[in-house]
Amino acid sequence: MNRTKIATVRGGLCPGPSTALVSAAACLASVLVPAASAAPAPRADLTVASVRVTPSAKPGESIAIAVTVKNAGRVPTAPTKTTFALSKDTALGGDLKLSERATTRAVRPGKKRVTKLTVVLPDGTPDGSYYVLACADASRKVRESKEKNNCRASAAAVEVISVFEGTLSGTLTFSDVGESATGMWDSWNRSATATINMSVSGPHMGEVFASTGSSYTLSGTRDDVNQGPSCTYERHRTERGSGTLLYTGSAVNDDLYGKFTKTDLSGLSLGVAMPYGAELQENLCGESKTTSARSRDASDIKLAEVSRTATTITYRPVEWFGLLSGTSEWDSVTGDVVLTRTN
C-alpha cells in the first residue's frame, strides 16, 4: 500500500504527501488532541457592602435605611431591586419580610451604589431587637459569578418598642369577717367594693395607668368587750367611705395605681387606697364617749392572667398585702379585671 495514501486516509485533516509512517503518526496525534476550552465569559458580582438603620422605632412607624451595593465582578449591571427583612439574628431564615424594595441603579465593575429609603415596620411587630437583612438583586435578574453572597445584615440592630393603648376595667370585692379571743377586737365584719376604670398607654413596660372615674364603697364594724373585776369596757367602731378614687399622676398620693409585672402582660399589680371615716363609741363603766377619725385602707393586689383573646386579657387576684407589703386585713379579694387593647 502506498504510504502517502495511508497518511491521507488516517489523517483526513492532514492532506499532502508523506514519505514516512512517523509523519502520519504525528499528524494523527495533532488531530486527536482537543482544542483548549474557551475562557468563561466575565460576569457581575453584586454584594451588599453595608446596611445602616434607624436605632429604634415603634410598630407602624418608618425606619431609615441606607444600603450600599457593590459590584465585585467584571461587567456592569443593569438596575436591580434590593429587598429587606427583619431578623432576630444575622442569618437568613425565619425572618419578617418588609414590603418596600430599593431600586439600585446600574453599578460598574469595582464601584458601589448607596441607596436611601424609608421602610414601615408592620403593625403588630413584636417588641425586641432586630437586624435588617438586605439582599441585592433579589429577583435574580443579573447573572453573577457568585449567587450566594448577595445578602448582609445591618451592623446595628433596630429596637422595636411598641406603644400600648387600652383600658382596664372591672370590679374587685373585699371581705373581712372574723372573731378573736386574743386580738385587738373580739369580732369584725367589713367589706368593700372597688370599681376599676383606667386608661393604659405608653411604651412597653412603661405604660401609664390613669384612673378615669374609678370609685369605691367601704363599710364595716368592729366590736370588743372586756369584762373587768368591777365593770365592763365596751367598744364599737363603725367604718364608712365611698366616692371617686383620687388620681393625679402621683404614685404617692393617688388612691389607685397600676403596672404590669410580666413582660408578656400576664401579670398585673394594682394599688387601691380607700379613704373612710371611723366613729368609735366607748363605754367604760357606764361612761360613754364618741370619737371620730379619718383613715385610709391601702392594699397592694397582685393579679394573674386567667384568659386571653386577640385584644383582651382577663386577670384575677392571686395575693394581696397591706401597707408597706405588710399583712392585709382583708380575708379575700375577688373579681375579674379586663385589659382591652384599643390600638
How many CA atoms lie within 13 Å of 214's alpha carbon, on the beta-carbon side?
A: 31
Tell me which residues of the chain have a pLDDT lower than 70: 1-38
Q: Which one-letter DSSP state was computed for residue 144?
A: B
Q: Identify the pLDDT of residue 313.
A: 98
- pLDDT of amino acid 181: 85
Cα separation of 299 and 305, whole Å? 19
Q: Are 340 and 311 in contact (CB under 8 A)?
A: yes
At residue 36, the pLDDT reads 53
Q: pLDDT per residue over 122-153, tens digit each? A: 988 888 899 999 999 998 999 999 989 999 99
Contacts with 271 (C-beta within 8 Å, 6 or more apart), sequence order:
251, 254, 256, 257, 258, 298, 299, 300, 301
The H or E element containing residue 21 is helix 21-32
pLDDT at 2: 45
Q: Which three cell numbers stand for residue 315?
A: 386577670
pLDDT score for 308: 96
User: Per-residue b/e over 30-58, b at no fewer than 16 CB within 10 Å?
Assistant: eeeeeeeeeeeeeebbbbbeebebbeebb
Pairing of strands 56-57, 158-160: parallel
Q: What is the pLDDT of residue 104?
A: 94
Q: Cell digits for 108?
A: 460598574
On whether the CB atoms of residues 98 and 119 are closer than 8 A, the answer is yes
Give residue-wise pLDDT tens across range 310-338: 999 999 999 999 988 899 999 999 999 99
CA distance 249 to 202: 14
pLDDT at 170: 98
Question: For residue 38, what pLDDT is reported?
Answer: 65
- d(CA 290, CA 157) in angstroms, rounded, equals 68
**Three-class SS state of 242:** strand
pLDDT of residue 40: 79
pLDDT the model gives residue 25: 47
Residue type, 186: D
